[in-house]
Amino acid sequence: MVRFARKLEPYLAGIVASASWRLNTCILEGIDNRTKVIKRMACGYRDDAYFFLKIQAAFPVLFAYMRLTALATAARAAMVTLTSVAAPWTTPYLPSTAT
């Protein structure tokens, strides 16, 4: 029994994570299957842009979430840029010691 426990020790973090958050790949498999069906039906599409629009129309919630995530990331990056550049009026005045 001790030998079995020692063999499981390197995998302990994954086992605990699996028990804590019950995630599976069924949503991903469904998206993949639906995309393949759209691809099979896309034999006559003239360009890739229309094909991607069809995929977006099939998963509106997913793409809305992706847009919101991208906007939040861009806003966060802009805030970091704005706060990292110190304006001259915000820096404290330090009198020079050179006379």
Does some domain include residue 84?
no
Question: Does some domain include residue 7?
Answer: no
pLDDT digits (tens, 9 = 90+) for 55-94: 888 888 877 877 778 777 877 777 766 555 555 555 555 5
Please indicate, yes or no, if residue 85 is contained in any of the structural domains. no
Is residue 57 in some structural domain?
Answer: yes
Does 13 map to a domain?
no
Q: How confident is the model at residue 54 (pLDDT cuts 50, 70, 90)?
A: confident
pLDDT digits (tens, 9 = 90+) for 14-31: 888 878 777 677 877 888
Does a structural domain hold residue 3? no
> Is residue 10 in some structural domain?
no
Tokens of 20: 């804590």
Question: Is residue 10 predicted with pLDDT exceeding 80?
Answer: yes
The residue segments making up the domain with residue 46 are: 21-77
Mean pLDDT of 10-17: 87
Give the number of domains in the chain.
1
